[in-house]
């Protein structure tokens, strides 16, 4: 990397002469090393899925979740440093609580991701802090319908129909682009999400992974819940079958 | 002699009470005063109030009833207030007393529910936990001399078990197979006990509904702060359901035969 040794990468508060902030780019590297996380915003809800790489056989199945519940109706999937993701979820829950206290109404996904992005951006300004090493997908159903946003380490916050972050995001994005997301049902989205996660998983580099999947919308009564076990198993077996024909 | 030990050694205000003749409980406080003390207000009395809540255990679970009235003193101020509130998937909380305090209780329970949901630890709040939590909140508030001015009934059904319990503004708790708050504790409770006690495992849903409706009718006849419009919550293995508002048939023709008081001329 050309940035190394120049001294411009020592602090998030320093630009390089060509206008880049290397600490933010390094944070993005941390995201790229993590298992893929995707989000699908469809007709009647949102589906979140994560390729959770299992680095040790000694771990209890289901440990170190990367999808978290922020509020009844909002979920969050993160890619990058797990502990940074937990800090983001803590901030997000506090935001939900503040909004409920002030306005006595539930948080919207847009307001939440905007607020979180301001915090992320502030961590790109000072030498005393490092930027968050996570890209976070916020998904939920609120008064404006299903919403899906990504907050990046730079503090950028954008809304999406289909979102992908982490190692396999390029392939995942091209697969997402092939789908007519706004016409899909949540059940169809679960199948597609599982297929994409199995597709982007690189068997040669990492052996083990767990598929984590949650949804919010009509199927879950607008609550952020794990996809039911039977549906998850069906999605997994279909994804494996699709993988055979794909290659 | 001042027999009140906390007054000993305190400066006396000679201008106000030169010979310490004031009754002890009215003894003026002459110590340092918090500048903002007058700005702190506590609930001294309920303002907008709900009346009785009734609840009984029956064969399949618990049933609770409360009318839709929120009174402003003796004025029937709000006639479409819901006093039965679902918390989580297994519990209903019914409130008599101050309605703004009840709205605050709904808020803190919502906050608690979201906290528990986002923990994603596989545990769910049941009626037992919610009752314990509310009893701690109510007692803590009364100990701060700032009570939440309510009588609460908490009913639920979880893991095959019925639950019905009471908490009030003092943090007092008790449990029974029939419970009633407010005026209902005097008028309806004896009726409920007669109908339910010893038959908790026999009473069907229809029967339970009839018992509550009959008690609500009696309360409407006798309680001047009640309304002929109420809701019934049923909590059973099928979950929680709170009915739409309903009305009861009442007869008032007997009124003209009443003699001895009122406006009749003879």
Q: What is the CATH number of the domain that holds A185?
A: 3.60.20.10
The pTM (predicted TM-score) of the whole model is 0.87
Residue from B88, B112, B114 whose CB has the most chain A CBs within 10 Å, to mutate:
B114
What mean pLDDT is predicted for residues B91-117?
A: 97
Among the partner residues B107, B111, B117, nearest to A69 by beta-carbon distance: B117
Instruction: Quote the pLDDT of residue B9.
Output: 65
- Asked whether the beta carbons of B55 and B64 are under 8 A apart, the reply is yes
In a domain, A164, yes or no: yes
- How would residue B1 be classed by pLDDT, with cut points 50, 70 and 90? low
**Which residues from chain A sit within 8 angstroms of residue B118, using beta carbons?**
68-71, 93
| A143 to A89, A151, B86, B98: CA distances (angstroms) | 21, 21, 21, 31
* Beta-strand runs (E) in chain B: 48-50, 53-58, 61-67, 70-72, 75-78, 84-87, 91-98, 150-158, 161-168, 173-175, 178-180, 230-236, 239-242
Q: Which domain holds residue A151?
A: 22-245
**Which residues from chain B sit within 8 angstroms of residue A69, using beta carbons?**
117-118, 120
Instruction: Quote the pLDDT of residue A3.
Output: 75
What is the rounded average pLDDT for all residues in chain B? 90
Å between B243 CA and nearest CA of chain A = 20
Tell me, yes or no, if B43 is annotated catalytic: yes
| B193 to A231, B196, B215, B248: CA distances (angstroms) | 49, 5, 11, 22
What mean pLDDT is predicted for residues B113-119?
A: 95
Instruction: Quote the pLDDT of residue A202.
Output: 85
Catalytic residue among B6, B21, B35, B43: B43
Report the side by side order of strands in the sheet with A157-159.
A67-71, A74-80, A134-142, A145-151, A157-159
Compute the count of residue pairs across chains A and B with CB atoms less than 8 Å apart.
Answer: 25
Å between A144 CA and nearest CA of chain B = 21
- How would residue B16 be classed by pLDDT, with cut points 50, 70 and 90? low
Instruction: Quote the pLDDT of residue A134.
Output: 98
Q: Are residues A100 and B111, on separate chains, in Cβ contact within 8 Å? A: yes
- A140 lies within 8 A of chain B by CB: no
Among the partner residues A65, A68, A71, nearest to B114 by beta-carbon distance: A71
Contacts of A26 (CB under 8 A, 6+ apart): A9
The per-residue pLDDT string of chain A (247 residues; one tens digit each, 9 = 90 and over) reads 677 788 999 999 999 999 999 999 999 999 999 999 999 999 999 999 999 999 899 999 999 999 999 999 999 999 999 999 999 999 999 999 999 999 999 999 999 999 999 999 999 999 999 999 999 999 999 999 999 999 999 999 999 999 999 999 999 999 999 999 999 999 999 999 999 999 999 887 777 899 999 999 999 999 999 999 999 999 999 999 998 886 5
Q: Are residues A104 and B107, on separate chains, in Cβ contact within 8 Å? A: yes
Å between A101 CA and nearest CA of chain B = 8
In a domain, A225, yes or no: yes
Closest A-chain CA to B106: A104
- How would residue B116 be classed by pLDDT, with cut points 50, 70 and 90? very high
Å between A43 CA and nearest CA of chain B = 25
In a domain, A16, yes or no: no
Among the partner residues A93, A100, A101, nearest to B118 by beta-carbon distance: A93
Instruction: Quote the pLDDT of residue A135.
Output: 98
In a domain, A33, yes or no: yes
In a domain, A147, yes or no: yes
**Which residues from chain B sit within 8 angstroms of residue A72, using beta carbons?**
113-114, 117
Q: How many domains does chain A have?
A: 1
d(CA A82, CA B114): 22
Residue B57, Cβ density class (10 Å: 0-12 exposed, 13-18 middle, ≥19 buried): buried
Residue from A72, A91, A106, A213 whose CB has the most chain B CBs within 10 Å, to mutate:
A72
pLDDT higher than threshold 80 for residue B18: no
Among the partner residues B113, B114, B120, nearest to A96 by beta-carbon distance: B114
Residue from B118, B119, B124 whose CB has the most chain A CBs within 10 Å, to mutate:
B118
Per-residue pLDDT reduced to its tens digit, B158-208: 999 999 999 999 999 999 999 999 999 999 999 999 999 999 999 999 999
Instruction: Quote the pLDDT of residue B42.
Output: 74
Q: Are residues A71 and B120, on separate chains, in Cβ contact within 8 Å? A: no
Closest A-chain CA to B111: A97
- Asked whether the beta carbons of B169 and B138 are under 8 A apart, the reply is yes
In a domain, A2, yes or no: no
Q: Are residues A69 and B120, on separate chains, in Cβ contact within 8 Å? A: yes
Taking the mean position of all CA atoms in its chain, how far away is CA A32? 12
Instruction: Quote the pLDDT of residue B3.
Output: 63
Per-residue pLDDT reduced to its tens digit, B126-149: 999 999 999 999 999 999 999 999
Q: Are residues B118 and A100, on separate chains, in Cβ contact within 8 Å? A: no
- A222 lies within 8 A of chain B by CB: no
Beta partners for residue B58, in sequence order = B61
**Which residues from chain A sit within 8 angstroms of residue B120, using beta carbons?**
65, 68-69
Rg over CA atoms, chain A: 18
In a domain, A59, yes or no: yes
pLDDT higher than threshold 70 for residue B2: no
- A100 lies within 8 A of chain B by CB: yes
Higher pLDDT, B265 or B64: B64
- A96 lies within 8 A of chain B by CB: yes
Per-residue pLDDT reduced to its tens digit, B241-258: 999 999 999 998 887 787
Closest B-chain CA to A90: B118
Which residue ranges form the domains of chain B, and what is each CATH number? 48-247 (3.60.20.10)
In a domain, A1, yes or no: no
Share of chain B above pLDDT 90, in %: 75
């Amino acid at each position: 990397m050309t940035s190394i040794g120049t001294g411009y990468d020592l602090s998030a508060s320093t630009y390089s002469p060509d206008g880049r902030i290397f600490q933010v780019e390094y944070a993005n590297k941390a995201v790229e090393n993590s298992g893929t996380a995707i989000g699908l915003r469809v007709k009647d809800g949102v589906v979140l899925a994560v390729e959770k790489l299992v680095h040790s056989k000694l771990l209890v199945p289901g440990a170190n979740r990367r999808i978290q519940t922020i509020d009844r109706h909002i979920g969050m999937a993160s890619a990058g440093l797990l502990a940074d993701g937990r800090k983001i979820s803590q901030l997000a829950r506090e935001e939900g609580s503040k909004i409920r206290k002030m306005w006595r109404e539930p948080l919207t996904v847009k307001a939440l991701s905007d607020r979180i992005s301001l915090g992320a951006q502030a961590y790109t300004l000072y030498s005393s802090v490092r930027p968050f090493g996570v890209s976070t997908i916020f998904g939920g159903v609120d008064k404006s319908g299903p919403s899906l946003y990504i907050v990046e380490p730079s503090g950028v916050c954008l809304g999406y129909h289909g979102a992908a972050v982490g190692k396999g995001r390029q392939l995942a994005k091209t697969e997402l682009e092939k789908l007519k997301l706004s016409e899909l049902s949540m059940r169809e989205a679960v199948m597609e999400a599982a297929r994409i996660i199995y597709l982007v998983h690189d068997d040669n580099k990492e052996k083990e992974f767990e598929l984590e999947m949650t949804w919010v919308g009509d199927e879950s009564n607008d609550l952020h819940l794990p996809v039911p076990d039977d549906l998850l198993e069906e999605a997994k077996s279909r994804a494996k079958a699709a993988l055979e024909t794909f290659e | 002699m001042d027999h009140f030990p906390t007054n000993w050694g305190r400066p006396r205000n000679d201008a106000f009470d030169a010979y310490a003749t004031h009754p002890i409980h009215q003894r003026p406080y002459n110590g340092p005063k918090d500048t903002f003390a007058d700005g702190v207000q506590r609930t001294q009395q309920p303002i907008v109030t709900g009346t009785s809540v009734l609840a009984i255990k029956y064969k399949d679970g618990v049933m609770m009833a409360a009318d839709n009235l929120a009174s402003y003193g003796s004025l029937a101020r709000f006639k479409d207030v819901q006093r039965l509130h679902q918390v989580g998937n297994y519990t209903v909380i019914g409130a008599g007393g101050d309605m703004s305090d009840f709205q605050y209780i709904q808020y803190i329970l919502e906050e608690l529910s979201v906290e528990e949901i986002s923990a994603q630890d596989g545990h769910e709040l049941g009626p037992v936990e919610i009752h314990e939590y509310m009893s701690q909140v109510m007692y803590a508030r009364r100990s701060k001399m700032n009570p939440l001015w309510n009588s609460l009934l908490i009913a639920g059904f979880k893991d095959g078990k019925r639950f019905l319990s009471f908490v009030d503004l003092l943090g007092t708790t008790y449990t029974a197979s029939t419970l009633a708050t407010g005026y209902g504790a005097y008028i309806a409770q004896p009726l409920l006990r007669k109908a339910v006690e010893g038959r908790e495992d026999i009473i069907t849903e229809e029967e339970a509904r009839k018992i509550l409706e009959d008690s609500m009718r009696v309360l409407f006849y006798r309680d001047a702060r009640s309304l002929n419009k109420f809701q019934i919550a049923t909590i059973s293995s099928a979950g929680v359901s709170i009915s739409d508002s309903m009305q009861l048939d009442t007869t008032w023709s007997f009124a003209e035969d009443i003699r001895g008081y009122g406006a009749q001329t003879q």
